[in-house]
Amino acid sequence: DYVDGEISEKFKESQRVWIQREGEKIIAIQAICTHLGCTPRWLSLEAKFKCPCHGSGFTKEGINFEAPAPRPLERLKIALNEEGELVIDKSKKFLWEKGEWEDPESFVTV
């Protein structure tokens, strides 16, 4: 269901989560700006997330590069259930600045 190299906005409105697939790795990115909590927009032509509230910009990976966001977007715990469906646990976050994006629970491989 998830195309390699693309951002899925399937759950952006209902769960405030984007799903991203890069090769065999799938991650869940929380769709909440780290500045004041607005929901950024995915701009596919520019390959970046852009917050409509104060202009923060994030790379496709979620790294902040346009102020005022003080840090990258957060990734969420993601797993596959027995039926092969993605299960996201929003109570467990992985922070880039703490080196947690390579934690085995921050992605699934397919």
Encode pLDDT of 44-84 as tens digits.
999 999 999 999 999 999 999 999 999 999 999 999 999 99
Cis peptide before 68 (omega within 30 of 0): yes
Name the percent of the chain in helix, strand, coil, to the closest 5: 10, 40, 50
Mean pLDDT across the chain? 97
Query: Measured between alpha carbons, how far is 71 from 58 in angstroms, rounded to an integer?
Result: 9
pLDDT digits (tens, 9 = 90+) for 2-46: 999 999 999 999 999 999 999 999 999 999 999 999 999 999 999
The phi and psi torsions of 59 (rounded to 5 degrees) equal: -65, 175
Tokens of 98: 């703490």
C-alpha to C-alpha distance for 26 and 91, rounded to whole angstroms: 18
Q: Which residues contact 10 (CB under 8 A, 6 or more apart)?
A: 19
Residue 1 banded pLDDT, cuts 50, 70, 90: confident
Confidence label for 89 from pLDDT (cuts 50, 70 and 90): very high
Q: Would you tell me how many other CB atoms lie within 10 Å of the CB of residue 24? A: 10
Give the containing element (helix H, strand E) for 13: helix 12-15
Q: Containing H/E element for 33?
A: none
